[in-house]
Structure 1
Amino acid sequence: MSLSPQFLDELRARTTLSTLIGKSVKVTKAGREYKACCPFHNEKTPSFTINDEKGFYHCFGCGAHGDAIRWMTDNRGLPFMDAVKELADAAGMQVPTPDPRAARQAEAAKGLHEACQAAQDWFEGQLGGIEGAEARAYLEKRGITDATRRAFGFGYAPDSRGKLKAALKEFPEPLLIEAGLLIQPDDKGREPYDRFRGRLMIPIRDGRGRVIAFGGRIIGAGEPKYLNSPDTPLFDKGRTLYNLDKALPAARSAGRIIVVEGYMDVVALAQAGIHECVAPLGTALTEHQIERLWKLADVPILCFDGDSAGQKAADRAALRALPLLQPGRSLSFVTLPQGMDPDDLVKARGAAGFESCVASPTPLVERLWLHEQSATPATTPEARAGLQQRLNEHASTIAHDLVRREYERALKDRFWAEFGWKRQERAAVRGFINRSRDEIRGGNGTPGDLGNMAVRIDQMVKRAILLGLSRYPGVLYTHREQLSALAMPSPVLAEWSSLLIRASFERAALEESLIDAILADASLAEPERRSIAHDMAFSFYRADGDKEVAEKDLGEVINLLVFEQEYPPKLERLTTELYAHRDDDTRYEALWQDHLSLIASKRQNDERLKELKANIEEQLMAA
């Protein structure tokens, strides 16, 4: 429908912008303008200005700018025509009717809206009356306050087949049937009767806050537990989200929208101060509802119950969203603790407990992986092939080419990481590295615990190396770089190592023993001096030993320990390269051979260190 510029200009002129915005944002006078904290981004100092004379608002913080119509579409989330109609109603203007048929449809819709509102008023009155006592007791039991009850418009439908019809007798029966308030029996000779009987009534509103349908919760025994209005010219349950009118401004302010399963979850969260929540209406989340959610947030949060039904609903929503995905536009998922819904959670742990659950939602791609992986155990090649096929089929439904390729890559990476070649070998190597590290640290991850045998041995071996280099400083010139790279287990030994390295740079040749200089050095603690004299009898410990053998053994021990230190990062680098070249058979095979060679070297190194440590341990135990 096309509206003339003259009509729109008149509509803007008749709308006081500061009053309109002031309905949802606190505004204060600032000279000839008004100011407020911007509703489009979080701020504490007002940078949002409203100019009634010029008819526009502007935020100097985020750049938001517009007129009355733009306010209704951006802040309230209304379609353009709905925004115009609401502003026109408030201004006492008639929106031009394009043709007689449209005018008749608008008039009919007006009658349906009036009937629904009249029913809502009557239901609210019944809740406060004698017959509403049981429904009021139910609300009290659920912890719903009077303020919340009024805010959401709770009502009560008496257990009667004709009380609502009698109360709305000024409306034609066909209109009440069309609005879903009465049921027409198949036998046309029988009288229409009230659809909702003996139920707590919850009004369902559109984005403009108008009542368009109802949900009724049975009070006492009976089925179904919840009964919704049927689809009508006003109400399409596959396109409508409960609480959308209240969630719209809250979602804009919070920058998120949360989807929960039912009415009472929304109500409980709102009562706890979390207002940006909506719920589908007794059906799985539809494509239309997902598209509507994306107008409020790029990545809506789906927070369904932790039971089987809730998780199935989440999985269905994930699969329905796949064909619709766009760059930057997705869904995320939160699973609540088993046996709890949002209502239970906020009662038990408050708003903070709920926020802690939604703080780290699961991305859609991870949800898809978990859904398919848990469907069938992937313990055989055929089962793994089936998993790959299902994942590929899901990714192929994504219409956007770039998003589809990203999903294919992400799912392939996830599959390879879980079931890729040599997975068991890599796990075994990782386990060996961890066990080795625990052994070095004494099994408790505390490197400084020198009362532990393994830590003491590490300390003694490295002190032995430094003593050997002090007795045979010529080895420094061939192993100075390795010594620089070798981590020392204490500040004293680190200083000793640094002293030797500096000496080798300052003197072109250090042929004489430095042991006397080391012992005289003030920085060497008394316990270390004693250990030099009484420590283990390596070949390079003894001053009267064979110089050639001592220097050879000393160089070997240094190389062994440097390899031991460098092995984990080398293995990690090779594993990363193997993963990166998993699709390149030639490169992968070369890397795999390097991988095997590294592990073989590690095995040989371990054997030599084991011999060395055995000798040390024997001496240590005998000491």
Structure 2
Amino acid sequence: MSLPPGFLDELRTRLSLGQVVGRKVMWDQRKSNQGKGDLWASCPFHQEKSASFHVDDRKGFYYCFGCHAKGDAISFVRETENVDFMEAVKILAAEAGMPIPERDPQAQQKADHRTQLIDVMEQAVQWHRLQLQTGGAAEARDYLARRGLSPEAQTRWEIGFAPTNGGVLSHLTGKGVAQKLVVDAGLAAESDRGGAPYDRFRGRIMFPIRDARGRAIGFGGRAMDPNHPAKYYNSPETALFDKGRSLFNHGPAREAAGKGKPLIVAEGYMDVIALAEAGFTATVAPLGTAITEDQLRLLWRVADEPIIALDGDTAGLRAAMRVIDIALPLLEAGKSLRFALMPEGLDPDDLIKAQGAGAMQKLLDAAIPMVQLLWRRETEGKVFDSPERRAALDKALREKIKLIADPSIRNHYGEAIKDLRWALFKGAKPAARRGAEAHRRWTPGKQDPWKREIAPVAGSKMSALGAGAMDEDHMREAVILATLITVPALASEFETAIEQMECHDPTYRDIHASLLRHFGTMALHDAIRGDLGEMPLEKLFGQSHVAISPALRRPGETEIARLCLAEEFAKLTARRGHAREIEDAVEDLSGVADEGLTWRLAQASAALDRAGRGDNEDRAEYELGDNGARMKKDELSAFDQLLSQIDFAKGARRPKS
């Protein structure tokens, strides 16, 4: 069975060879660099002890330095599954979600036609390059010089010129190329009125567009006439050129990214060229359209976290927001986007000319995650002076987060949005106290006069509530860190909890940071001592509550250490979540204290109670709250006093059970 031209290229583009091979081998983590698609394993085709089987995930090829087996995803499936070529294609197509085309008896004819078109396009590239050196292209050469492109750079990028008269159509047909081939290549167009075909590109600087394999598939033309309605004009869709599945500078950028360069997505040809000439060689651009799903998949095949570099004007921001809407449903673990927004009125080319490559590097280093730009879109320039407007914000954000298919990423986005929301409304003025300022836009950081009235009252009770908890937190932090250092093999099981852990003690913060730096190291004690010296560890392990913790009393019993860590993390999270819920409830008050507020605080205390039930503490110290949750007497007292102060400040009474 013959397959249509381009089907196998599309199949290889959609698949990750690393994922295909990864089902059959175990990667050597010490030798592999998964971020760069550089993967090593023991060869599945012959018996060996060392990892001599290499997969280049970005290029889509494997090679064994032992038995010299080599190939792509199709050949790997053929060899490992013992199937023929078409069966291997069907297996991979099902995985990529691509239906197998019906039998096409003209497939060979189409393949031959594509080969002819590629030859025609290559001839066109060379002819346009020659035209740039003629007298009729003087204005074009002056323009390129003003944009900072030297003759050497023009040669590197194969820049050409399409004259106003006597274009590529007459040149190619004069050399014996069939007129239909020139039209099919997108270089000429047939008149709607039935006249002779004419050149599509006239009076334009020509930028060749090549696919990932380096074949010329289209052109982008920049008009020299400043009044022309289409400043930039691309080749039409052809058998070679699909705008939504192609990227300008794809091949060279992929190679540069494989060598460690950050993958940058710019808006146009000149931005790509300016960035690449300044040393940012892994730069690509979409082709006259907003970034498509297929282009995003191409980008993620090259790098896990491409940086979208867009102009800082309104149009650039709109383009960034469109990218977010396209990307959210496609997000996978480890695959995301970051955004580097240029100063207003500047594009990357302007910025590099004005301030140099260093200024561009600073912007790239400061690129923001996608979740922050999503938040900015929904909040910037808007007023949230009523519960209804806040609810509308919540609804809009929930609708966007629901687009994310991966449940883990969806959960992390929800947590990030919650943190951003808390920070926003933490300083907002309640509508009831705004008076004449009710319609003023909220500004971060401004002091709230109403908050000055209630903050000292509530703050003192929060301190009373938090004093004991802070001591317990300090103890739990010490036990967790000491247990992880004593049993480092458990670190991977608690990776997320360790990353999210916040230590209040400066010494513990230093130990925690060193632990993260050496994550996965079995000799954690020695590694941390090398970073910080002996004193911080002596302080940690010298505490009595650490010395009697299960992991240190029974150092060889991993299961006990595992249970100890799980319990301590759960209690620490619950206690801090309890305090955070109270703060959120206080900050979110917009009218009177009601059952909803009481319920939120009661739920927080119940969570605290559940986390503390394993403590071997004097039961006489505990009482039941109104919701039946068990709390320490001092915590319950502070909790009730806090509610009373809130009720008093808001002119309402706490509902009775």
TM-score when normalising by structure 1: 0.57
Aligned twin of 1:386: 392
Aligned to 1:345: 351
Shift of 1:297: 1.2
CA distance in 2, matches of 1:431, 1:155: 68
CA contact (8 A) 1:256 1:301 kept: yes
Counterpart Cα distance in 1 of 2:35 and 2:221: 37
RMSD, aligned α-carbons:
4.1
Higher deviation after alignment, 249-258 or 414-423? 414-423
Structure 1 residue 198 corresponds to structure 2 residue 203: yes
Check the 8 A contact 1:154/1:200 in 2, yes or no: yes
- Aligned residue in 1 for 2:332: 326
- 3-state SS, counterpart of residue 131 of structure 1: helix
Residue identity opposite 1:66 in structure 2: H
- The amino acid across from 1:585 in the alignment is L
Does the 8 Å CA contact 1:180/1:213 hold for their aligned counterparts?
A: yes
CA separation of 1:72 and 1:387: change in aligned 2, threshold 3 A: closer
Query: How many angstroms does 1:238 deviate by?
Result: 1.0
The aligned residue for residue 157 of structure 2 is 152
Offset of residue 278 of structure 1:
0.5
Aligned counterparts of 1:247 and 1:184: Cα–Cα separation in 2: 35
1:282 equivalent in alignment to 2:288? yes
Cα-to-partner distance string for 1:148-200 (whole Å, 9 max, x where unaligned): 1111110000012x431111012211211111100101122x00000000000
Equivalent in the alignment of 1:135: 140
CA 1:110–1:245: 2 relative to 1, 3 Å: same
Say which of 363, 369, 378 aligns to 1:372: 378
Match 1:73 to one of 43, 46, 60: 60
- 1:79 Cα deviation (Å)? 7.8
Compared CA separation, residues 131 and 381, structure 1 to 2 (3 A)? same
Which structure 2 segments of 5+ residues have no match? 4-30, 41-45, 63-70, 77-102, 431-447, 461-575, 586-596, 606-624, 626-634, 646-657
Question: Which whole-Å CA distance do the structure 1 matches of 2:360 and 2:291 have between them?
Answer: 22
Matched residues in 2 for 1:322 and 1:306: separation?
Answer: 22
Where 1:209 maps in the other structure, the secondary structure is coil
Q: Determine if contact 1:258/1:303 at 8 Å carries over to the other structure.
A: yes
Amino acid at match of 1:402: S
Alignment of 1:407-446 (within 5 A): 407-419=413-425, 428=452
Q: 1:594 aligns with which of 629, 634, 638?
A: 638
Letter in 2 for 1:360: A
Q: How big is each residue's C-alpha offset from its partner over 1:9-58, in whole Å with a ceiling of 9 and x where there is no partner?
A: xxxxxxxxxxxxxxxxxxxxxxxxxxxxx997999xxx999xxxxxx9xx
Secondary structure at the aligned position of 2:388 is classed as helix
Aligned to 2:258: 252
Distance change (3 Å), C-alpha of 1:102 and 1:132:
same
Q: Which residue number corresponds to residue 170 of structure 2?
A: 166
Cα deviations by residue, 1:597-620 (Å, 9 ceiling, x for unpaired): 58999xxxxxxxxxxxxxxxxxxx
Partner of 1:482: none
In the other structure, the counterpart of 2:302 is 296
* Worse overlay, 266-275 or 394-403: 394-403
Task: State the shift of 1:215 in Å.
Answer: 0.4
Q: Give the match's secondary structure for 2:220.
A: strand
The 1-side partners of 2:249 and 2:203 are apart by 23
Counterpart residue identity of residue 205, structure 2: L
Counterpart check, 1:207 vs 2:223: no
Deviation at 1:223, TM superposition (A): 2.4
Contact 2:61 2:73 in 1 (8 A): no
1:314 and 1:405 map into 2 onto residues whose CA distance is 23
Deviation at 1:299, TM superposition (A): 1.2
Alpha-carbon deviation of 1:66?
3.0
Question: C-alpha separation between the residues in 1 aligned to 2:385 and 2:339?
Answer: 27
Q: Quote the residue 1:126 is aligned against.
A: 131
Partner of residue 317 from structure 2, selected from 306, 311, 314 = 311
**2:186 is equivalent to residue 180 of structure 1:** yes
Distance 1:154 1:255, change over 3 A: closer
Residues in 1 aligned to 2:403 and 2:416: alpha-carbon distance in whole angstroms: 15
Counterpart check, 1:109 vs 2:153: no
Q: How does the TM-score come out when normalised to structure 2?
A: 0.54
* SS of structure 2 residue aligned to 1:344: helix
For 1:334 and 1:114, the matched residues in 2 are separated by 39
The alignment partner of 2:404 has SS state of coil
Q: Secondary structure at the match of 1:238?
A: helix
Q: Which runs of 5+ in 1 are unaligned?
A: 4-37, 50-55, 84-97, 437-571, 602-623
- Compared CA separation, residues 226 and 70, structure 1 to 2 (3 A): closer
Distance 1:430 1:114 in 2: 77
CA contact (8 A) 1:578 1:592 kept: no
Contact 1:204 1:243 in 2 (8 A): yes
C-alpha contact 1:157 1:197 (8 A) present in aligned 2? yes
Q: Deviations over 1:218-244 (max 9, x none)?
A: 113322110111111111111111110
Cα distance per residue 1:533-556 (max 9 Å; x no partner): xxxxxxxxxxxxxxxxxxxxxxxx
**Distance 1:593-1:334 versus aligned 2 partners, 3 A rule:** farther
Aligned to 2:364: 358
Q: 2:240 aligns with which of 234, 237, 245?
A: 234
Q: Is the CA contact (8 Å cut-off) linking 1:266 and 1:279 kept in structure 2?
A: yes
C-alpha spacing 1:329/1:39, structure 2 compared with 1 (3 Å): closer
Which residue matches 2:469?
Answer: none
Residues 1:292 and 1:411: Cα distance change in structure 2 (over 3 Å): same
Which residue in 1 is equivalent to 2:601?
A: 585
Aligned CA distance change for structure 1 residues 187 and 220 (closer, same or farther; 3 Å): closer
2:158 and 2:248 map into 1 onto residues whose CA distance is 13
Q: Read off the aligned partner of 1:403 and give its amino acid letter.
A: I
Q: Distance in 2 between matches of 1:309 and 1:197?
A: 28
CA contact (8 A) 1:259 1:279 kept: yes
Q: For residues 80 and 172 of structure 1, do their structure 2 counterparts lie closer, same or farther at Cα, with a shift above 3 Å needed?
A: farther
Q: 1:39 to 1:577 in 2, by over 3 A?
A: closer
Query: Are 2:210 and 2:217, in contact at CA under 8 Å, matched by a contact in 1?
Result: yes
Maintained 8 Å contact 2:61/2:72: no
Q: How far apart, CA to CA, are the structure 2 residues paired with 1:82 and 1:247?
A: 26
1:348 is displaced (CA, Å) by 1.3
Higher CA-based Rg: 1
Q: Is the 8 A contact 1:127 1:135 kept in 2?
A: yes
Go from structure 1 to structure 2 and tell me whether the alpha carbon gap of 1:303 and 1:422 turns closer, same or farther (over 3 Å shift): closer
Looking at structure 2, the residues matched to 202 and 82 of structure 1 have their Cα atoms a distance apart, in angstroms, of 36
Contact 1:41 1:253 in 2 (8 A): no
CA contact (8 A) 1:40 1:252 kept: no
**In structure 1, distance between residues paired with 2:386 and 2:336:** 33
Stretch of structure 1 that moved more, 572-581 or 377-386: 572-581
Query: Secondary structure of 2:205's partner?
Result: strand
